[in-house]
Every structure is written in C-alpha cells, then in structure tokens.
C-alpha cells in the first residue's frame, strides 16, 4: 500500500521476513546474510543496479515469481482477522516486499520497503503495478520509456511512510514486532520510539533478536503459532 492510511491506530504491528518464512519465502539473516544465495550489496543497492541492472532485475523477477506461487500462512491470517475486529485501530507496517498480508485480507498495510508487485519509472517517476518480469524491459505505462525498476527500497534509500509511521508509533498503545531480526534500520529503532511514548512492547520471533532487550516482553516460537495465540488474547481481552 501507499502511505496515507490516516488516523492513529491503537496497535502498530511491525512485520519482517520471519512472518513469511513458513509460507516458503526465505529470510536472509537465517541464511548467513545471503538473500537467495546473493550478497545484499550485489542485488539490493542502487550501486548494484547501476553496475549490473540485468542481474538485479533477474533477481527481483525471480522473487516476484516465487512469491506468486506461495500462500499466506496462519500468522498473516491472524493479523487479517485482527484488522476485521479493530479496523482503523490496527496498522501493519511491513518490511516485506511480498504481498502475503494483502492476500490474507489485510488492507491497512504500509510497505515501508516497497512492493515486489509494483514498479517505478526512472524516466517519469510514475509508480504502477508490475507488468510481470522487468527483463528484457517492458515500457512504462505512463511515458513509454523502458526504464522501469522494482518499486522496492534498497539499502541506502529512504523507506516509504516514515512520517506516518512516526505518528503511529507516538500515539499507539501497543507495539508488536513479528519475525524481524532488528538488523535493518530505521525499523530496528521503532520499539524505542514506541516505548519512549509509553506503548506496551512485545516481540514475537523464532529466536532472540538483536533488539530483544528493548521489548517489555518477548515470546519465542513459530509465527504460525505465536501470532494467532497473541491475536486470540487481544480479541478475548478486548484490548
């Protein structure tokens, strides 16, 4: 989604690659810092795109096709069910570029690192739905130039929606991080902002992360188990 969700939610959930792992989308920290066998510097930086655009396009084309062949898991489903109850009182901020939250039914999703399913034109800056593979180079639907890049935020680029995220973190009652290693900034610092403004903080992750100590509570386990459990508690307690 595009930034501009409006309102201050009671609950802000930050998700990372770990929530999609059980759907069959590999995380990269768990693979020794490689993303599908590639060094991040070789596929997820503006410099890599400048030096070897075909390799970068091929990498994201493969990710886009892989994500299209998998399905949301019970963790995505649980967050969609929570939104059905809470409406505007829930905001999901995701670092993921897949669309598994949306396919589970979530609508209030802010993709701070962009989306595999969208493209940005380097000639006219128009952002639109990906027409499929970006190799060999389809034309932009707006200006006709063949200068499309994935609409994802690479290392060294500015994430989307930071002003809106800051407002949500400052106003929310509860901040929950799910399946994120806490190694990528600025998302790794969201827990500190939320707790500085008085929010309860909870981490749900497979293993302790680099930021576990910043959370008031941390629960370890598979996202497909711990997320539905937590959502069940919220719905029962009506908080």
Radius of gyration of the chain (CA): 18
Binding mask 55-84 for ligand NAD (x = CB under 6 A): ------------------------------
Segment contacting ligand NAD by CB under 6 A, of 78-86, 130-138, 167-175, 178-186: 178-186
Backbone angles phi, psi at 125, to 5 degrees: 70, 5
Q: Using the rule CB under 6 A, which residue among 183, 195, 197, 219 binds ligand NAD? A: 183
Q: Is 185 a catalytic residue?
A: no
The residue from 9, 11, 14, 20 that contacts ligand NAD (CB under 6 A) is: 20
Least gap, CB of 202 to ligand NAD (angstroms):
13
94 three-state secondary structure: strand
- CA distances to 109, 117, 192 from 216, rounded to whole Å, are 24, 35, 11
Selected from 9, 74, 179, 228, the binder of ligand NAD by CB under 6 A is 179
CA nearest 219: which of 75, 103, 106?
Answer: 75
Q: Do 162 and 142 contact (CB within 8 A), yes or no?
A: no
| Residue 87 Cβ vs ligand NAD, minimum distance, rounded to whole Å | 25
Cβ at position 7, least distance to ligand NAD in Å: 25
Q: Is 106 one of the binding residues for ligand NAD (CB under 6 A)? A: no
Residue 48 as a binder of ligand NAD (CB under 6 A): the answer is: no
Is residue 121 a contact residue for ligand NAD (CB under 6 A)? no
Min dist. Cβ of residue 144 to ligand NAD (A): 30
Among 82, 83, 96, 140, binds ligand NAD (CB under 6 A): 96
Q: Do β-strands 11-15 and 200-205 pair in parallel, antiparallel, or remain unpaired?
A: unpaired
Residue 40: Cβ-neighbour burial (10 angstroms; 0-12, 13-18, 19+): middle
- Residue 12, beta-bridge partner list: 91, 175
Residue 184 in contact with ligand NAD, rule: CB under 6 A: yes
> Rule CB under 6 A: which of 190-219 touch ligand NAD?
205-207, 209
The Cα 180–Cα 28 span in angstroms is: 11
Q: How far apart are the first and last CA of the chain?
A: 26
- Tell me the closest approach of the beta carbon of residue 176 to ligand NAD, in angstroms: 12
- Residue that has been written with the tokens 């998998």 in this structure: 70
The answer to whether residue 18 forms part of the interface with ligand NAD (CB under 6 A) is yes
- Given a contact cutoff of 8 angstroms between Cβ atoms, the answer to whether 89 and 11 are in contact is yes
Q: Which residues bind ligand NAD (CB under 6 A)?
A: 16-18, 20-22, 25, 27-30, 35, 95-98, 113, 179-181, 183-184, 205-207, 209, 222-223
Give the active site residues: 113
């Amino acid at each position: 989604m595009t930034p501009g969700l409006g309102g201050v939610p009671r609950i802000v959930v930050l998700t990372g690659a770990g929530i999609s792992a059980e759907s069959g989308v590999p995380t990269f920290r768990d693979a020794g810092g490689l993303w599908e066998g590639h060094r991040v510097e070789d596929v997820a930086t503006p410099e890599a795109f400048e030096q070897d655009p075909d390799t970068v396009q091929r990498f994201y084309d493969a990710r886009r096709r892989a994500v299209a062949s998998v399905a949301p898991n019970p963790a995505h489903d649980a967050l969609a069910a929570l939104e059905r109850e809470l409406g505007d009182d829930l905001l999901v901020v995701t670092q993921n570029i897949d669309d598994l939250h949306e396919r589970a039914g979530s609508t209030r999703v802010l993709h701070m690192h962009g989306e595999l399913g969208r493209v940005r034109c380097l000639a006219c800056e128009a952002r639109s739905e990906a027409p499929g593979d970006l190799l060999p180079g389809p034309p932009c639907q707006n200006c006709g130039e063949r200068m499309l890049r994935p609409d994802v935020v690479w290392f060294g680029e500015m994430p989307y929606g930071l002003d809106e995220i800051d407002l949500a973190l400052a106003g929310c009652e509860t901040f929950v991080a799910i399946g994120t290693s806490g190694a990528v900034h600025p998302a790794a610092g969201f827990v500190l902002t939320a707790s500085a403004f008085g929010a309860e903080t909870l981490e749900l992750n497979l293993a302790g992360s680099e930021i576990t100590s910043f959370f008031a509570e941390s629960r370890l386990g598979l996202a497909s188990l711990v997320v539905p459990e937590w959502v069940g508690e919220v719905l029962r307690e009506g908080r």
